[in-house]
Amino acid sequence: MITASPLPRQPSSWQQDFASAITDPAELAAILDLPATWVPGARRAAEVFGLRVPRSFVARMRVGDPHDPLLRQVLPLDAELDAAPGFELDPLHEAEARRAPGLLQKYRTRALLVVTGACAMHCRYCFRREYPYETEHSDTGRWREAIAAIGADSAVREVILSGGDPLSLGNARLGALTQALASATRERGGLDSLRIHTRNAIVLPSRVDAGLLEWLRAQPWRVTVVLHVNHPHELSQDALDAVRALHGTGAQILNQTVLLAGVNDDPKTLAELSWRLHRAGVLPYYLHLTDAVRGTAHFAVDQSRGIEIVDALARELPGYLVPRLVREIPGEEAKFVVAAGLRRARY
């Protein structure tokens, strides 16, 4: 059941929430009443990829529980620094998919714009954790070449705004970006679809403000917002309000989840996540097997376990609430679907 959009919060308050994120492991330990013994290890791991977590997300964690599934997603660990065979910097060969600065195109009809390197939260399993954003993202002025390339390629029917998190940009910047896209594609008949991949809308719900909703409503294209939620505890009331407000713009809202050891690698958690998303008007889209990115080996779940989990979900949920288990295979023309329902019969 979708209820009316809640009143948006004060404009500009999200910038304060973004800036006041926790970045010091000792502060996180103090707030959550965690043993101070892991702080030195966290500091070492944070030198490679910094700790960053919004206070509203920390408020969704259980105090005194080092295994909290939300905490595990943001807590820098010494283990990230261990060398793991087969885990590399760019296992997806994204460098080969680069068409222009900040423009990744792996698939013929969809082009992905890396519009910023910034995220409200740093997820430890991130496959772009060591991405060279400084030289690569198509920030102001620099996205001109990327947009011209999209304008020149009439095979591209959908543009995906990604990052980092595109909602780390302000509403005015987003407006300038989509206007430039509209002008660049007008002559060849425009685009069919604008897609926005965001985790900020969930981890920093104040980001979904009146200006953002207005921007979404004003788009000349069908808009799809792909959220990124891994665990039902992430869906606090303010996050759900933000999702309903996004839904109220008429955008299609999907969710992608990363299958993470010790966070959500059990059918019960994922079934509950699907039901809660459903209540908020969101359909599960992808369940990603992690890529072999350096520093993330401790999150890896075997493909066979992933298939078992999706089998269990298929027995438990309406078909439309079962996410597709996917993995990325470099050079393929689409994401590879490992399972989308029952794979193993019981007889």
What is the binding site for ligand PLP (CB under 6 A)? 97, 104, 106-107, 110, 112, 160, 334-335
* Interface with ligand SF4, residue 288, by CB under 6 A: no
For 86-242, strand residue ranges (E) read: 98-100, 103-107, 110-114, 158-162, 193-198, 222-228
Pairing of strands 110-114, 158-162: parallel
Residues 204-263 that bind ligand SF4 (CB under 6 A): 228
Q: What contacts 16, CB < 8 A, 6 or more positions away?
A: none
| CA distances (Å), origin 117, targets 72, 130, 135 | 22, 10, 10
Q: What contacts 318, CB < 8 A, 6 or more positions away?
A: none
Closest CA to 164 of 130, 206, 208: 130
CB of 342 to ligand SF4, least distance (A): 29
* Interface with ligand SF4, residue 276, by CB under 6 A: no
31: tokens are 């707030």
Q: What contacts 32, CB < 8 A, 6 or more positions away?
A: 58, 61, 63, 64, 65, 68, 71
Binders of ligand SF4: how many residues, by CB under 6 A? 11
SS3 245: helix
Instruction: Identify the bridge partners of residue 103 per DSSP, sorted by sequence position.
Output: 100, 113
Residue span 162-181 as binding mask against ligand SF4, x where in contact by CB under 6 A, dash where not: -xxx----------------
Nearer to ligand PLP, 158 or 316 (CB): 158
* Interface with ligand SF4, residue 123, by CB under 6 A: yes
Q: Which listed residue (28, 71, 111, 126) binds ligand SF4 by CB under 6 A?
A: 126
Q: Which does 126 bind (CB under 5 to 8 A by kind): ligand SF4, ligand PLP, none?
A: ligand SF4
CB of 319 to ligand PLP, least distance (A): 19
Residues 83-122 that bind ligand SF4 (CB under 6 A): 119, 121-122
CB of 184 to ligand PLP, least distance (A): 19
CB of 200 to ligand SF4, least distance (A): 7
* Interface with ligand SF4, residue 137, by CB under 6 A: no
CB of 304 to ligand PLP, least distance (A): 23
Question: What's at 254, amino acid-wise?
Answer: L
List residues near ligand SF4 by CB under 6 A.
Answer: 119, 121-123, 126, 128, 163-165, 199, 228
